[in-house]
Amino acid sequence: MSKAMRQWAIWSMFMIARTIVQMLLASWITGAVAFSVAQAQTQAVALEALRPTSQWKVEYAERECRLTRNFGTDQDLILFRLARGTSFTNYDIMLAGVSIPKQSTGVDIEITISPQNSTQSFKGENRDIPNRKERILRWYDGDLIPILAGPKNQELFVTSDENYRVKLKIDDFPAALKAMETCHDDLLKGWGIDGPQMRSLVSLAEPRMNPEEWANILDYPDDMLRDGISGIVSFKLDIDAAGLPTKCLVIISSKTPKLDQHTCRLMMKRAKFKPAIAADGTATASHYINRVRWSLPD
């Protein structure tokens, strides 16, 4: 064999060997990726729902009613809490536990209720509890109608910023919520509101404009802005059948009387509503509850 032929044979063997190595490497990478995807899918499917480890408990607080229950044990223990105060329909919802990771203060929260497959998205908060190891996930204005319309046994799947997931096995929820409703009726009664009568309405009084426009930073009293005074004012408006407020009552004070009075003046001046509708289809008098958060500018 000539020298040229030998060089050609060596080059050919080298190219064949390189091709085989490339094929094996590509096959290994594909297999590794497929395994990683399959493993991730298996892990997602393998997330087990935490079962209740306590009974439902109704707590009568000064400004709200709370419904709590523990799920899981040890490091997986999660406290689930609903709270309702100055709302006729929605709830503040909170999870607390050591397994909740530290995230940004503002988080994107998504909940899915099964088997209904009802999904809701919220802007929530992730924060620590002073002098404790647990962290809190909390979001506001949660709608529980999908749970109430579902079967006795359900699952609540919660994700936060896509890097925290937990699933809770919910049972006997309607009965527990009924007990909480009794607490809330007592709270409303103290504010001059008939809870059962409000629930009998076909629709509640509805603001004709965004309530956030009723009070803004330009309405901040100059002297309070100068003195660094802030606070939250929760108020009740009595609404007539024409949708106009007839009275404003501060139900949870900011602890600054002038700020409370200023809030009610703004509400009486700017708040306008589509009136509530009674069971017979007629417009009727009702109530509206909300709050104004007076926060100092950065």
- The pLDDT of residue 182 is 92
Average pLDDT value for the chain: 85
CA distances from 259 to 125, 207, 219 (A): 27, 22, 11
Domain membership of residue 52 (yes or no) is no
Whether residue 252 is predicted with pLDDT greater than 80 in this model: the reply is: yes
Average pLDDT over residues 67-85: 94
Do 94 and 21 belong together in one domain? no
Going by pLDDT thresholds of 50, 70 and 90, the confidence category of residue 105 is: confident
What gap in Å lies between CA 83 and CA 67, rounded to an integer? Answer: 6
Do 75 and 172 belong together in one domain? yes
Whether residue 183 is predicted with pLDDT greater than 80 in this model: the reply is: yes
Convert the pLDDT of each residue in 11-67 to its tens digit. 455 455 555 545 545 554 455 444 444 444 444 456 899 999 999 999 998 889 999
- The pLDDT of residue 285 is 96
Whether residue 185 is predicted with pLDDT greater than 80 in this model: the reply is: yes
Domain CATH for 244: 3.30.2420
Do the Cβ atoms of 183 and 58 come closer than 8 Å? yes
Tell me what percent of the residues of the chain surpass a pLDDT of 70: 84
Residue that is last in its domain, among 46, 67, 83: 46
> What is the DSSP code string of 128-152?
E-TTSS-EEEEEEEE--HHHHTS-S
Whether residue 149 is predicted with pLDDT greater than 90 in this model: the reply is: no
Domain membership of residue 8 (yes or no) is yes
What gap in Å lies between CA 278 and CA 193, rounded to an integer? Answer: 16
Do 4 and 116 belong together in one domain? no
Do 173 and 87 belong together in one domain? yes
Supply the pTM of this predicted model: 0.71
Do the Cβ atoms of 229 and 259 come closer than 8 Å? yes
- The pLDDT of residue 268 is 97
Do 81 and 17 belong together in one domain? no
- Segments forming the whole domain that contains residue 125: 57-180
Domain membership of residue 35 (yes or no) is yes
Domain membership of residue 5 (yes or no) is yes
- The pLDDT of residue 217 is 87
Do 215 and 271 belong together in one domain? yes
Domain CATH for 98: 2.60.40
| Tally of domains within the chain | 3
Domain membership of residue 186 (yes or no) is no
Q: 293 forms bridges with which residues in the sheet?
A: 232
- The pLDDT of residue 88 is 83
Going by pLDDT thresholds of 50, 70 and 90, the confidence category of residue 6 is: low
Do 251 and 283 belong together in one domain? yes
Domain membership of residue 225 (yes or no) is yes
Alpha carbon 243 to its chain's center: 30
Domain membership of residue 224 (yes or no) is yes
Convert the pLDDT of each residue in 270-296 to its tens digit. 999 999 999 999 999 999 999 898 988
Domain membership of residue 51 (yes or no) is no
Do 10 and 75 belong together in one domain? no
Q: 136 forms bridges with which residues in the sheet?
A: 96, 127
> Where is pLDDT greater, at 196 or 172?
196
> Where is pLDDT greater, at 60 or 87?
60
Do 124 and 207 belong together in one domain? no
Query: Which parts of the chain are beta strand (E)?
Result: 57-60, 65-71, 78-84, 91-97, 106-114, 118-128, 135-142, 154-160, 164-170, 206-207, 231-239, 245-252, 273-274, 276-277, 283-284, 286-294
Candidate ranges 3-17, 111-125, 278-292; pick with highest mean pLDDT? 278-292
- The pLDDT of residue 206 is 94
Do 203 and 225 belong together in one domain? yes
b/e 224-241 (16+ beta carbons within 10 angstroms → b): beeeebebebbbbbbbbe
Going by pLDDT thresholds of 50, 70 and 90, the confidence category of residue 75 is: very high
Residue that is last in its domain, among 124, 151, 180: 180
Do 211 and 288 belong together in one domain? yes
The most distant pair of C-alpha atoms in the chain lies apart, rounded to whole Å, by 110
Do the Cβ atoms of 67 and 57 come closer than 8 Å? yes
Do 78 and 172 belong together in one domain? yes
Residue that is last in its domain, among 128, 146, 180: 180
